[in-house]
Amino acid sequence: MIKRIFWTFVIVITLSATVFAEVFQYVGEDFDWAILSPKEKTERVDKIYKIMFPDGAITNYTRKEFKTQFKTHLKDKDSKIHYDAMVAGYKDYKNVKLEPYYYKNTGCIYMYALQYKNDLTKTYYYSVLGNLKFVDIRYGDLINCPCYIKKYGIDGKLKRSAYIQSKDIIYTYTGKGKFEGVQYKSTMYTH
């Protein structure tokens, strides 16, 4: 009887391991978060934090510093033109890339992102009326990965940061530097 239970257990474990291995082979070699130990996860989170914040400090601007640095972008002077271009379906318009954000229920644009083609290190987020809401500053390899992004609010405070390992794997942190999770495609994983 004990032998039968033992062999049943071995077979179940073997089959489970095979299925588990196939799932992670499908997910891809780069995404190993689910199989890391808690200690390994913490080490990775800390390593990425040190890459994004080398001196260990979160950099915030004062409101005045922020408005001085981004004063030419506080208002999108072409907001009406950009809005019309987005409604017409344009993603590129003249010297900018456009990305609209829609309300789910109504399908109306509530905010849009604007990135100048001559400066891909910054993305500006505006309300529909053309008032600046956020700025993303991108560091690292601008074309490939890895790189990281810091999102600042109009008050100059860091709102969120993200380390982009690849187009599918993103580690996200709060504005205070607390780890939120790792996103693989459209799924978020936490500790």
φ/ψ of 140, rounded to 5, equals 100, -160
pLDDT of 174 higher than 90: yes
Is residue 86 domain-shared with residue 122, that is, in the same domain?
yes
Is residue 17 domain-shared with residue 48, that is, in the same domain?
no
Average pLDDT (78-85) is 94
pLDDT more than 70, % of the chain: 84
Look at the chain and report how many structural domains it folds into: 2
Is residue 7 domain-shared with residue 59, that is, in the same domain?
no
pLDDT of 31 higher than 90: no
- State residue 16's pLDDT score: 44
Is residue 2 domain-shared with residue 44, that is, in the same domain?
no
Is residue 62 domain-shared with residue 153, that is, in the same domain?
yes
Is residue 67 domain-shared with residue 7, that is, in the same domain?
no
Is residue 137 domain-shared with residue 75, that is, in the same domain?
yes
- State residue 50's pLDDT score: 92
pLDDT of 7 higher than 70: no
Is residue 89 domain-shared with residue 15, that is, in the same domain?
no
Q: How confident is the model at residue 151 (pLDDT cuts 50, 70, 90)?
A: very high
Is residue 113 domain-shared with residue 178, that is, in the same domain?
yes
Is residue 62 domain-shared with residue 9, that is, in the same domain?
no
Is residue 24 domain-shared with residue 36, that is, in the same domain?
no
Tell me the residue range of the domain where 12 lies.
1-29
Is residue 68 domain-shared with residue 90, that is, in the same domain?
yes
